[in-house]
Amino acid sequence: MMSRFSRWHLSITPSECVDCRLCETSCPFDYIDKPNTGLDRESREAGVKRLSHLFIMLPILVALGGWIGHRLSIPMSSYNMKVYTMEQILAERQNPDLEQTLYTETFDEMGLSEDALMEDALLIRKRMNMGGWLLGGFMGLVFGVKLIGISTIRSQKDYEVVKPSCFSCARCCGYCPSDDMHKPNFVPGTAAYNEALALADPANNPQPEKKGAQEAKV
Ligand code: SF4
Ligand code: SF4
């Protein structure tokens, strides 16, 4: 979880990467993104159209979120003791047959001013209403921005580590033939070395020596 706050991360140097794909298969968590060039993509016009629709929707989502927050602020404000007592007093005034609750009974016994209670309760409701608009609007904005984010496909030409999720455990480094520290793992002539070269450039593929030939050399 702390990985996303980490300053230093594993990274792949595009100029040194030979696209052998060995790191891709070595990461047990699938935190290496592959290049997405050559994939079937929607036309540019369709992408621009969808994005412009989402940008038009953004203020609507903000307004909708704000309105939902405003509507929720009314029942939520009832959790406040003063607002709840005010609601009970008003309900009892409207319907004298209603039995007094513990709150209204205690309020009466304390001999406090109903006007002062009303004033406080209305102020609390007003503040919660404003908070509901702001919080709801913010949630709508976050939702809209996320929606734009997931509908925008960035062109990626190189292998890239998914930085927010990668643990920087360096397991994949041991499989990278371009990593200086791990080059000794890839001794020319070995199956792993040739496999990596074949994947990178099939035309320049040195064929692995046959076992018999190697034995004859020895
Ligand atoms: S450092 Fe570890 S978690 Fe990150 S991409 Fe490599 S193998 Fe995966
Ligand atoms: S193992 Fe190294 S050279 Fe191969 S694709 Fe991954 S980063 Fe590139």
Using DSSP, state whether 199 is helix, strand or coil: helix
Report pLDDT for 217: 43
- Cα–Cα distance between 33 and 158 in angstroms, integer? 8
Q: Give 208 Cα–ligand 1 centroid separation in angstroms.
A: 29
Residue 215 has pLDDT above 80, yes or no: no
Asked if residue 86 lies in contact with residue 121, where contact means CB atoms within 8 angstroms, the answer is: yes
Report pLDDT for 196: 65
Asked if residue 19 lies in contact with residue 199, where contact means CB atoms within 8 angstroms, the answer is: yes
Contact 10 CB / ligand 2 (< 6 Å): no
Q: Give 202 Cα–ligand 1 centroid separation in angstroms.
A: 27
Q: What DSSP line would sit under 171-183, residue for residue?
A: TGGGG-TT-GGGG
Residue 207 has pLDDT above 60, yes or no: no
pLDDT in tens, 31-89: 888 887 766 667 778 888 888 999 999 999 999 999 999 999 989 998 999 999 999 99
- Cα–Cα distance between 111 and 96 in angstroms, integer? 19
Q: Cα–Cα distances in Å, from 82 out to 49, 138, 154, 186?
A: 51, 28, 52, 74
Q: Which residues, at least 6 apart from 206, have a Cβ–Cβ distance to it below 8 Å?
A: 188, 189, 194, 197
Per-domain boundaries in the chain? 2-178
Protein residues with CB under 6 Å of any ligand 1 atom: 10, 27, 29, 31-32, 161, 166-172
Which is more confidently placed, 173 or 57? 57
Which tokens go with 156? 């990626």
